[in-house]
Amino acid sequence: MTSPIWHPFTQHALEPAFQKIAATDGAYLIEESGRRVLDAISSWWVITHGHRHPLIMQAIRHAVDRYDQVIFAEYSHEPAEELAKGLVKLAPQGLNHVFYSDSGSTAVEVALKMALGTFHNRGEKRSRIIVMEHSYHGDTIGTMSMGERGVFNAAYEPLLFGVDVIPFPEAGGEQEVLDSLEGLCRSGQTAALLVEPLVLGAGGMRMYPPQLLARFREITRHYGVFLIADEVMTGWGRTGTLLACEQAQITPDILCLSKGITGGALPLAATLATSEIFEAHYSTDRRKTFFHSSSYTANPIACAAAVANLDIWKSEPVLDRIRTVEDLHRHRLWQLEGNARIADLRQMGTIAVVELAVPAGGYLSNVGPKLRRFFRERGVLIRPLGNVIYLMPPYCVTQADLDLAYNVISEGIEQLARGAL
């Protein structure tokens, strides 16, 4: 029987029937046949410590015995309270308020509404949002409006609203980016700058230095523009530190977290904001209420999983594991240097990128699906962004695991060059 499921980011006319996963274990997915597949992209960047970390699974089992969903507009509960205190403690100083939602997209939507709502409640006419070229912030209407216009959202163009765009800071073009940002902020109409700190994810794993993020903070602060850091992907150690913002030594006005917040076990998101933003919505005038929610806001079971994730960061040598992954990447990645079929190699933290030199690049490059199928046949889950191959493994990955991934990538590039794919 044909499955009725409509899978995400899938052209079913071109894809075979989906394999089913029977179980997960550490850095691996286990197919129904029993074959183990290395999850080299952390199941879309969510699995941090490895699949089914014992402490997180234990916390979920304990929470299931006590909770299901609790209406969060009427009550609170201990998992949410404990998690909020933990998030405020680990976040850059000054982010004192936590608003829960369900996904990275909603975390960003919440951030945008917080920024616009603050100026609205103050009676200030600031409504423009600045974003960076090639950005991706989610698939809701608001977050698609914030992202790069193209194949992801062309069909929905009539629904999208306009934003201001600064160039991506290519090497040597940093001053142009800063001048563009300052010019837009100087207009007095800008409410916020929304950026993915240090690494643009779905936009091609493009990377820029922490010093530039620090300059973004200086400029936005000078002009009274809020800085929103979308750390949905970059958070939880992916760039080498718990948060990418740490490397620039900045505090954004609003911070968006999701993906690894529960170690990847359950969907949850949090948007952290400064007291300035909270107080703009704190009033005896009910019209200044922050009007946002979802049915599953602060699900207690998901919050319990996230609390366990915080405990893992406190009690286990997570940053040491991250440094090990960084070193393993560095050793293998640069062995590919000098290959004429490779346009660029880059790395930040646990993210390693091999960008191929092909006649037609970009997300729709036909090398992407060919390589993805080849990698899966060899027992490795890697989903290239067109001609951009990237690795973002869970932190439990071993040298043997990464050797497998790099060997498969090298073989795939050779096969592609010979026309065998």
> What is the per-residue DSSP string for 163-176?
-EEEPP--TT-HHH
| Cα 220 from Cα 228, distance rounded (Å) | 10
| Helices 300-315 & 78-90 angle (0-180, nearest 10) | 40
CB atoms under 10 Å from CB of 149, counted, come to 13
| Cα 4 from Cα 10, distance rounded (Å) | 14
**199 Cβ contact list (under 8 Å, min separation 6):** 205, 206, 207, 233, 234, 238, 239, 244, 348, 351
What would the two tokens of residue 24 be? 């997960």
| pLDDT given for residue 214 in this prediction | 98
pLDDT at residue 419 is higher than 90? no
Average pLDDT of 194-217? 98
Looking at per-residue confidence, does 21 or 418 come out higher? 21
Which amino acid is residue 420, in one-letter code?
A: A
DSSP-assigned letter for residue 51: B
| pLDDT given for residue 264 in this prediction | 98
pLDDT at residue 375 is higher than 80? yes
**Confidence at 360, pLDDT banded by 50, 70, 90:** confident
Tell me the CA end-to-end span of the chain in Å, nearest whole number.
Answer: 30
Long-range (24+ apart) CB contacts under 8 A made by 220-225 are 220/181, 220/185, 220/192, 220/193, 222/185, 223/182, 223/185, 223/186, 223/188, 223/190, 225/130, 225/185, 225/190, 225/191, 225/192, 225/193
Question: Which residues is 121 bridged to in the sheet?
Answer: none
Ordered by where they begin, the domains of the chain are 56-315 (3.40.640.10), 317-417 (3.90.1150.10)
Sheet holding 21-25, edge to edge: 21-25, 28-31, 36-39, 380-381
Average pLDDT of 218-231? 98
**361 Cβ contact list (under 8 Å, min separation 6):** 386, 387
What would the two tokens of residue 89 be? 């403690």
| pLDDT given for residue 246 in this prediction | 98
| Cα 209 from Cα 253, distance rounded (Å) | 20
| pLDDT given for residue 340 in this prediction | 92
How is 390-412 classified by DSSP, letter by letter? EE---TT--HHHHHHHHHHHHHH
Which amino acid is residue 57, in one-letter code?
A: M
CA dihedral 393, 167, 183, 121 (to 10 degrees): -50
| pLDDT given for residue 1 in this prediction | 63
Report the percent of the chain where pLDDT is more than 90: 95
**Confidence at 2, pLDDT banded by 50, 70, 90:** confident
Give start and end residues of each alpha helix (H) in 151-225: 174-186, 210-222
pLDDT at residue 317 is higher than 90? yes
pLDDT 10s digits, 267-303: 999 999 999 999 999 999 999 999 999 999 999 999 9
Looking at per-residue confidence, does 364 or 68 come out higher? 68
| Cα 85 from Cα 20, distance rounded (Å) | 38
pLDDT 10s digits, 94-153: 999 999 999 999 999 999 999 999 999 999 999 999 999 999 999 999 999 999 999 889
| Helices 399-417 & 318-333 angle (0-180, nearest 10) | 30
Are 200 and 230 a contacting pair, CB within 8 Å? Answer: no
Average pLDDT of 391-398? 98
| Cα 387 from Cα 193, distance rounded (Å) | 29
Report the percent of the chain where pLDDT is more than 70: 100
The sign one gets for the Cα dihedral 154, 158, 161, 165 is positive
Lowest mean pLDDT among 83-87, 148-152, 253-257, 262-266: 148-152
pLDDT 10s digits, 72-86: 999 999 999 999 999
Are 109 and 143 a contacting pair, CB within 8 Å? Answer: yes
What would the two tokens of residue 247 be? 């490397």
Looking from the CA of 202 toward its CB, the CA atoms found within 13 Å total 19
Are 96 and 278 a contacting pair, CB within 8 Å? Answer: yes
CB atoms under 10 Å from CB of 79, counted, come to 25
| pLDDT given for residue 247 in this prediction | 98
Are 245 and 229 a contacting pair, CB within 8 Å? Answer: yes
